[in-house]
Amino acid sequence: MSQRVAVYGGSFDPFHTGHLVPTVRAQETFKFDAVHFVPAGHPPHKLGEPLTPITHRLAMVALATLPYDRFFASDDEVFARGPSYTVETVRRYRDRYPAAVLYFLLGSDSFSQIASWQRWQELVELAHLVVLHRAHIWGPELRARVPEELRSRLVEVEPFAEVPDPTRQTVYLLDHDPFPISATDVRQRLRRGLPIRELVPHEVNSYIEKYRLYRSDSDEENHARR
């Protein structure tokens, strides 16, 4: 069987268990030889929005994935100047691993909007897609939002099922138990002074506490007075 390489791009602001656990399920199902997590430098759908510096986001990904032998944090976009388009990220990996079977991981919420992505038609020819189950969109609603030309490629896969090397570019819908967690929820809880230990890997929680990320201005003022 050919080497299987997966790429998972995202803001990861912060990296949480909703990113990690489904990826573990995907690795166990597809038997990836390597999964590369790529924190986006300048996500085009978030231009103009405040984003934690990529050095912090990369560090959180690196710490969270350290216990997993086949998971790697990528610094590909640390020095990116312009918008970070997924198709360009995936093409780099296609060129880097020309003999591998290449997969791109994304959440079902992102997949539902793929028709708005830059050069998405090129993207789906570069790699197989593995769509991770997000709680708020799945099933018929997700299929209805997918471009019509992709619907014939959709293949639902149960966790731990045997998945042979595909003969054509395929979109796999991995029907794992969804994790109702978002990075927005994590940031909001932190700004309210609420705990996030159950939402992020231990290493990420420690990193956020050490560098006081996602705190409100009032929190920082109170900390400075101590």
Pick from 35, 171, 17: which is nearest to 93 by CA?
Answer: 35
| Residue-by-residue DSSP string for 178-222 | P----HHHHHHHHHTT---TTTS-HHHHHHHHHHTTT--HHHHHH
Output the pLDDT for position 110: 94
- Cis, peptide link before residue 178, omega less than 30° from 0: no
Cα–Cα dist 103/217, whole Å: 41
Q: What digits encode the pLDDT tens for the residues 158-187?
A: 999 999 988 899 999 999 999 889 999 999
Cα–Cα dist 136/218, whole Å: 33
Output the pLDDT for position 224: 40
Output the pLDDT for position 91: 97
Cα–Cα dist 192/194, whole Å: 6
Token pair in block for residue 200? 């992020």
Angle between helices 54-65 and 202-211 in degrees, nearest 10: 150
Q: Along the chain (226 residues), what's the average pLDDT of each consecutive run of 10 residues?
A: 93 97 98 97 68 96 98 92 89 97 97 96 98 95 97 97 92 95 95 96 98 76 44
DSSP 176: P
Output the pLDDT for position 219: 55
Residue in the structure block whose two tokens are 């949480």? 16
Cα–Cα dist 68/225, whole Å: 40
Q: Is 4-225 a domain of CATH 3.40.50.620? A: yes
Output the pLDDT for position 226: 45
In the chain, where the domains are located: 4-225
Query: What are residue 129's DSSP bridge partners?
Result: 104, 171
Output the pLDDT for position 4: 97
